[in-house]
Structures are given as C-alpha cells and as structure tokens.
Structure 1
Amino acid sequence: MLTRATAVNRLSKCCGLPKFQPWSREFSKRAVFKYQRIAAVNGFSRCYSTEQQNQSSDFGSSGPQDGSSSNYTNTSDKGITEEEFQIKLQILKASLNHVNTKGWSIDALKAGASDLSLSESIASLCTAYDLVEYFQRYSNHELDNYLRGLEKKDKSLYSSVENRLKFVVPVIDRYHEAMAISLEPVNVPRSLQVLRDLADIICIHGLGDTSTDLRWYTKRTGIVSLYVATECCMVQDKSEGFQETWNFLQRRVKDYEFCERFGASALPAVEASVTTLLNIIGMNRKR
C-alpha cells in the first residue's frame, strides 16, 4: 500500500516540492513551471465519448446504479472490438465494489470480473488507471445530470463542488492511491482531460457561464484550482462529516468570487498549476 510518506518522497524527488498544506498560500514557482511544461507537451485533446450502461452495482449510495451512464473510453480502446469494450465497461463498473478492500488495482479488477462470472484473466483488458478514470468520469457525468436538473436559483459554485466531492466519500480511505496512479506519465493527459471536463460542467451547468472571451480560460483555471485544492484537503480531513473540508471550500469560493469581481486572475492561475500537479501526484491523503 502506498503510504503518505512514500507519496511525499516521490513528489520531492520529482520536482523538489516542500510539504504541501492545502490551506497555505506558499507556492513553489518550480512546481508551476513543471506543471505548465506537462500541460504544454501533452495538451488537452478530447478522446472520450458517452456510453450507456445498465449493469447494476452495489457501490454504496453514491455509486453507479441501474440505468446510469458514464463517459468512458480512451485511445487504447481502438484496438479492441465493441464486444470487448462493453465487457471492459462492465468489469470496471463491478470492480468499484472492491476498491475499498483491494485498492485501485488489478486485484480489484479480477474481483470485478469474477462477480460477472468471467475469467479473471479477462481483467487484463483494463488497467488500474482505467478504473480510476472510470470512477472520475462517472462522478463527473452524474454531477452533470444533477446540475442540469436544478433550478437556476439553486445552482452555485459551492454546491457544484460539494456534490462532486461527495462521490469521493465512499472510497476516501483509498483515494490517495488513485491520485498516485494518476501521476504516471502515460496517464497525465487523461488526468488533465478529466479536470478540464469537470471545469466545463461546473462553468456551463453550475454557473450558467457561456462566455467565449478570454475569461473562458481564467474561470476554468480558477475552478480547477478550487476543486483540486479542496480535494487535497478532503483526503486528509479527519473531522466529523468532513466539516473542515466544507469550511475550506467556503473560503475558497469566497476567494474565487473576489477574484472574479475584481479581475484578479493571477492567484487562481498559480494555485491551479500547483494544486493540480499535487492532486495528480496524490499527496496529503488521510492516514
């Protein structure tokens, strides 16, 4: 099992960062530059489509249910048949029931295949990151549906981020592993894409923002910053009902609104660069 100390050591070795505290405003310029280089090299190419799934699951009250749908596929799926792709989706969905006991691992995927009365060897269709991404994209998709169904008066940045983070609660004790898996170089472009799609969902359906000017970029940068910082806070939060996390989120929303009101976009841009990198690496999990 990946420990917090291991995650911190990997980060320090990778980019020389000091110990991160999500409530601190001390940021490393070196981390900013490294993150910007990653984003520039890998880009934000869109390679996902919506797939309907009807396989039932017992993944807690926040997990996939009958008749739900999830946005999941990636460029590696181009080499498999449609039948294999559908089997892959079913395995990923069933495997979420085993994350808390087996982690985001091949063992969880094998257990998911076994639940479907399939050979464990067929789990090789999936990777550990496929499972991580499936969960994240399912959560994004469900948030999108939730926001679309709300009245305009009930929508806000706070409620959008809060409802997205509630999907992490059932797997919070193993979520740091998902963060660490996302650090692997081959997974970085897909991790960035998941964050970009989340920012789009919150901007368009949570805030009703359809602007196409330069603020399109700054708003999404600020939202990514706010979300990943709060997620990092959540995985180390030991308070009852994650109250410290929700208090932290309230403060960050006020910061975002202040920046939007007065056009102070530089701070969110810096926070986004640093905290997104830290989120992908998987620091500061709950012990």
Structure 2
Amino acid sequence: MTADDEDIRAKLLDAALMHVPFDGWTRASFTAAVRDSGIDPALAEAICPRGALDLAVAFHRRGDAQMVARLEAADLAGMRFRDRIAAAVRYRLEATQDKEAVRRGVTLFALPPHAPEGAKLIWGTCDLIWTTLGDSSDDLNWYTKRATLSGVYSSTVLYWLGDTSPGHQQTWEFLDRRIDDVMQIEKLKAKARKAPVLGALLAGPNWLASRVRAPKGPDRDAEPGHWASGS
C-alpha cells in the first residue's frame, strides 16, 4: 500500500469514527465515512476491500503506532522491567480517545469470522511492546512472553472498558495485579527447574523447547517460527 493509500484510509477512518459509536464497525459506518470524506466509492472499496473491518484494523494499528511513539520518547531507564511493561499497556490504552470505538471493536472481533483477526491484532500489539522494550529472545520465550502479555492485555482492556474511576485508576491497579500474578508464576517455574527431580523430568521437554526459534524476516506474521538445526 502506498503512502497516498495510507492517507486515504486514514481519512476514511477519521470520518468513520463519527459513526462507529452509533452504528458499530458496520457497512453503514463505512458508507457514511465514504460519503462524509468525499472519497470516490470505488477508490474506497479498493483501499478497504473488507469495508469497516479494514477500518477497525487500521484503528487498532493507529493506537499501536501512538503507543510505540510514546514508549520511544519516554525515559524508562530507571524503571523495573515489569513497570515498563505496565507503562506500555497503559500507554496503549491511553492512546485511545474513543472508548466506544474500542468497545465496538471488541464486539466485532468476538464474532467467529473475525476472531482470528482480533487475536492477530492483540498478538501484534504485545509483540510491539516487547520489541520496543528491547526483547532479544529467539527461543520459546519469544512466544511465551507474547502469549502471556496477550492475556494480561486482553483482560485489562475488558476491565478498562467498564472502569469509571477517576483517571482509570482502578484499571491501572488491576493491571499491576495481573503483572504481579505473572511474575509469581515465573518465579515458581524457575524454582521448579532448579529442583533435582523436576529438573530431570523436564529435561526432555526443555530440550525440545530449546529447538524452537522465533520467526524471522521483514514479515514475521507470515512465518510461524522455525526449528533450530544442529545438536
């Protein structure tokens, strides 16, 4: 997609956001966005062949881009790593000015035909968080970090949608508790690996896990990863 196409899609998205709170990410919102933006309908269909679904994806990725920009500008050097993760999730939620558009997106991506797309978007957000924070893992940890954070992020979004506390303070406390839970699990796993009996039992699975490698290449979504060769 060219820069011009991106600009047109952004214009369509801006126009659609006026209608999404009322009509959801639907054909009605897409049609209204085309009309309000003044973009030729044929061109709009070419750039967004799936209509409002493509705009919902663009809306999510716009929030991702804003989160990354804020992370890169922030001074996180003095923070514990778990606090950097919490800050990243908070930045991602704060990047969204329209909570109702998110709510409508959750409804859209909960539908069976669109659930894989929604899962891919959440995974992409969590991948961006880890990558922006400097994650260099190349083994099974690459997957477990993103899978774990996907669970934390998803549950926090749902809590945030129903949070009416000042400044969403209850959401940030909920997020801290979820991250603390994950940290406790990681500590238990570390202790289990050091236990002689469990260490012996886990030797085979650990060897298999050590063969898994993170996906490579410019389009990591297209690659599920690979198996490390050698002994």
Q: What TM-score comes out, normalization by structure 1 length? A: 0.55
CA distance in 1 between partners of 2:54 and 2:155 (Å): 23
Q: Which has the higher contact order (CA 8 A, sep 6+)?
A: 1
The answer to whether the Cα contact below 8 Å between 2:72 and 2:132 also exists between their aligned partners in 1 is: yes
Correspondence for 2:131 among 204, 228, 232: 204
Q: Secondary structure, in 3 states, of the residue corresponding to 2:137? A: coil
If each structure's helix is expressed as a fraction of its own residues, which one has the higher value?
A: 2
CA distance in 2 between partners of 1:154 and 1:188 (Å): 38
Greater Rg, structure 1 or structure 2?
A: 2
2:116 maps to: 189
Correspondence for 2:55 among 118, 123, 131: 131
Q: Secondary structure, in 3 states, of the residue corresponding to 2:25? A: coil
Q: Percent identity?
A: 27
1:44 maps to: none
CA distance in 1 between partners of 2:40 and 2:3 (Å): 23
Unaligned runs of 5+ in 1: 1-48, 54-82, 265-287
- 2:175 is equivalent to residue 249 of structure 1: yes
- 2:12 is equivalent to residue 91 of structure 1: yes
Q: What TM-score comes out, normalization by structure 2 length? A: 0.67
Question: Which residue identity is paired with 1:113?
Answer: V
Correspondence for 2:156 among 219, 230, 246: 230
Question: Which residue identity is paired with 2:138?
Answer: T
* TM-superposed deviation, 1:126: 4.6
2:185 maps to: 259
* TM-superposed deviation, 1:111: 3.0
Question: Which residue identity is paired with 2:107?
Answer: A
* TM-superposed deviation, 1:262: 3.7
* TM-superposed deviation, 1:261: 3.6
CA distance in 2 between partners of 1:181 and 1:196 (Å): 17
Unaligned runs of 5+ in 2: 191-231
Change (3 A) 1:259 1:209: farther
CA RMSD of aligned residues (A): 2.7
* TM-superposed deviation, 1:248: 0.5
Question: Which residue identity is paired with 1:241?
Answer: G
CA distance in 2 between partners of 1:200 and 1:106 (Å): 30
* TM-superposed deviation, 1:152: 4.1
The answer to whether the Cα contact below 8 Å between 1:129 and 1:182 also exists between their aligned partners in 2 is: no
